Structure 1
Amino acid sequence: MSKLKYFVIAGLLRVVGWLPLGSAQRIGRWIGLLLWKVPTKAREVTDINLRICLPELSAQERERMAQASLVQTGQTMLEVPLMWEWPVQKCLDLVKETEGLELIDEAMAGGKGLILLAPHLGNWELAGLFFSSRYKMAALYSPPNMPEFEDYMIKVRGRLGSELVRGDRRGLARLAAILREGGVAGILPDQSPRGKGNAFAPFFGMEVKTMTLVSKLIQRTEANVLITYAERLPDAQGFRIVVKRTDDGLGDKDAVAATTAMNRSIERCVLDIPEQYQWEYKRLRHRPPGQPNPYRPDRIC
C-alpha cells in the first residue's frame, strides 16, 4: 500500500512539473482560496497563529492576511513540483532579483563555514537550489513518513551536488565537518525540534520549543550565520533572493539567549513579507510545561 501511495504521489508531482510557473501559481491560488473559504484545519491554525503573533492587526486585517497567506501557501504547494522536476537552470532563471549576496562573500572570506538559515517563507526550495548552485552545501532534513519517498527527495534536492544529511547524530557530525571545511549548511530554523536539543524561547511573544542546533554548531565550528528567503514576485514574474544578517547572540552558550536571538531573526524576515509565511504550521504547539496548547486549549503541555 505504501509503494502504491508513493507511485501515485510521484506521478502527480511529475504531471504538475510539466506546468509553466503562471499556470502552477494560478492553480495554487485556487487551492489557497478553497482552504480559506472552507472550514479547514489550515484556515483554523492560520487564524490562531495570526491572532497570537500579530495582535496589532484588526479583525478585518487578520481576515485579509489569512486569505493572502493561504493563497501564497497554495502557490508554494504547486511550485515545489516545478523545483523538483524542472531542469536546474530553468529553476535558477526564475531568480530575477537578489539582495544581500555580498554578505555571503563577506562571511566566507576568511575561510570559515556559513550556516544559512531558511525559514518557511516564500519558496524555500528555490532558495536551497540557488545556493547549492554556488557553494559546497549540505542541508539538514527529516526523513519523510513514506520511506520510498526519501530516495526521490534526496535525488531532486541534490541535483547540484548539495549533500542532504539526516537530523541524527551522524548527520550532525557530517554537518559540522562541512562547516569546518568552509562549506555552507542550510537549516530550516522554524520547525518544532524533536529530541533533547531544544530550549523554550519567545517567538512573536509566545514561549515555544526552539532548536539549539544552530548555537551548538556555531560553538563547535566558529561558523558565521546569515538568514535568507526567496520572495515570490507578483504575477508569475519570478522570485527575489534576500540575504540578511541575523541578530547578535546566536552562538551564545546560554541556550535561551541563543534561541531568542534566532527567533528574533526569523521574526524580522517574516515581517518583511508576512503573507508569504507558512502560518498554517503549528509552530506554537510545544510550550513550557503547564501552559495550554493554543490549538487545543483543553490540553496542557
Structure 2
Amino acid sequence: MTQEAPPSRKRVSRASAIAWLWKSLSHWPIARLWRFAALLGPLVYYFSKRERQITNINLGVVYPNATKSERNALAKQSLKHSAATMLELGHAWMAAPEKVQASILSVHGRDKLDSARAEGRGVIVLAPHFGNWEVLNFWLSSHFPFTAMYEPPKIADLESVTRHGRERMGASLVPTNPRGVAALLKALKRSEAIGILPDQEPAWGSGVFAPFFGREAYTATLLPKLVARTQARVVTGVALRVPGKGFEIHFLDADERVYSADDVISATGVNASVEASIALEPAQYQWEYKRYRKVIEEQQGLANANDFRLY
C-alpha cells in the first residue's frame, strides 16, 4: 500500500503548483487571459455549487425585482469575472512592471488623491472586491507611498509569493491588528495613501450593522477612527476590467456620511460608497462572498431566514 505524503509536503506541492501556474500565466497577454476566463467561468457556475448558490442568494437580496433569468445571467457573468481575477494574479504580481502598467488603459479621478496630498492630508482608499483590486494595488503603490492591511493566505506556503507580489512596487503591508492600525495612522499623518477593504465582515466587536443594498450587513468601524485622528480624505478606488483589453482605474468621491463620528452613520456611508462602485458594472463585483453572514447569525432584520439556509 502506498504511504500517503506528509501534509506539509502536500501543502508545499500545492503551493508550488499554484505559483508555477501564476508565473506561467504572467506571460500571457490580457486578451488570452480573458478568453480563458470566458471558458472557465461557465465551469465554475455549473460545477462549483457553493459559489453559484451564494452568488444567487446575494443577487436575490440586492436585485429583488430582477427576474430569475436576469439574476442567473448576472451570476454567470460575475463568476466569469471572478475567474478572470484569479487568472490575472500572475499578471498583477509577477509580470514585468511595464507590461502591467501598459494594461492600465486610463486613470479617472487621480486629482482627488493629488489635491488631498497637496493640502497635507492623507488619503484613505476604499478598495472593494470589484474588478481586479490587485491591479489597483499595483497602480497605487507605483505612484504614491501606500500602506495596506494584510492577512496571510489560507495556504501558508503561498505567503512569500503573495506578499512579494503586493509589495514589489513599494507598498507597505501591515498586519490586521493594533500594530497595523498604528502604522495606518502614521502613514496618514505623513500625508500618504492607505488602502482598506470595505466589504469584508470584521470580527465581532469591530463593527456595526449598517444597510448594504437595503439589508443590514456587519461593517467595520475602523474608518471613522482613522478620519477623526487624521482628517484624511476618503475615496473609493477600483480597477474596472475592460474585457480582453486591460483595466480602467476609477477614483470616486466617497459618500459624505463616511466622515461622520457616528459609527453607524459612517458605516452606512462606507456601504453606500461600495454600492456606487458596483454600479459601474455589477457583474464585476465578487458576489460569492457571504456579506450578510453575521446578521444571519444574529437573526436581525430577516423577514425570511430560510432564504439564507445555504449561507
Q: Which TM-score applies when normalising by structure 1?
A: 0.94
Partner SS for 1:261: helix
Q: Per-residue CA shift, 1:79-107, capped at 9, x if unaligned?
A: 11211110112101111122111121222
Pairing of 1:59-78 with structure 2 (within 5 A) = 59-78=68-87
**Residue 240 of structure 2 is aligned to residue 231 of structure 1:** yes
Deviation at 1:220, TM superposition (A): 1.7
Q: Per-residue CA shift, 1:1-51, capped at 9, x if unaligned?
A: 233332222222222223221222111121111122336211111110100
The 2-side partners of 1:18 and 1:108 are apart by: 36
Gaps of 5+ in 1: none
**Residue 18 of structure 2 is aligned to residue 9 of structure 1:** yes
The 2-side partners of 1:193 and 1:179 are apart by: 22
Which amino acid is 1:268 matched to? A
The 2-side partners of 1:219 and 1:244 are apart by: 21
Which amino acid is 2:197 matched to? L
Q: Contact 2:237/2:250 (CA < 8 Å) preserved in 1?
A: yes
User: 1:275 matched to which residue of 2?
Assistant: 283
**Residue 248 of structure 2 is aligned to residue 246 of structure 1:** no
Q: 2:129 aligns with which of 77, 96, 120?
A: 120
Paired residues, what number? Answer: 298
**Residue 266 of structure 2 is aligned to residue 258 of structure 1:** yes
Q: Contact 1:48/1:294 (CA < 8 Å) preserved in 2?
A: no
**Residue 178 of structure 2 is aligned to residue 166 of structure 1:** no
Which amino acid is 1:63 matched to? N
**Residue 309 of structure 2 is aligned to residue 297 of structure 1:** yes
**Residue 122 of structure 2 is aligned to residue 110 of structure 1:** no
> 6-15 or 47-56: which moved more?
6-15
Q: Contact 1:192/1:211 (CA < 8 Å) preserved in 2?
A: yes
Q: Which TM-score applies when normalising by structure 2?
A: 0.91
Deviation at 1:273, TM superposition (A): 0.6
Partner SS for 1:92: helix
Q: 2:32 aligns with which of 20, 23, 29?
A: 23
User: 2:5 matched to which residue of 1?
Assistant: none
Q: Contact 1:83/1:91 (CA < 8 Å) preserved in 2?
A: yes
Gaps of 5+ in 2: 1-7
Q: Per-residue CA shift, 1:155-192, capped at 9, x if unaligned?
A: 11111111011111111101110110111001111111
RMSD of aligned alpha carbons: 1.8
Q: Contact 1:249/1:258 (CA < 8 Å) preserved in 2?
A: yes
The 1-side partners of 2:179 and 2:77 are apart by: 40
Which amino acid is 1:118 matched to? A
The 1-side partners of 2:204 and 2:161 are apart by: 26
Q: Assess, with a 3 A threshold, how the Cα gap between structure 1 residues 149 and 38 changes in structure 2: closer, same or farther.
A: closer
The 2-side partners of 1:212 and 1:90 are apart by: 37
Which amino acid is 2:138 matched to? L
Q: Contact 1:201/1:208 (CA < 8 Å) preserved in 2?
A: yes
Q: Contact 2:53/2:310 (CA < 8 Å) preserved in 1?
A: no
**Residue 286 of structure 2 is aligned to residue 286 of structure 1:** no
User: 1:133 matched to which residue of 2?
Assistant: 142
Which amino acid is 1:267 matched to? E
The 1-side partners of 2:145 and 2:68 are apart by: 46
The 2-side partners of 1:276 and 1:267 are apart by: 12
User: 2:159 matched to which residue of 1?
Assistant: 150
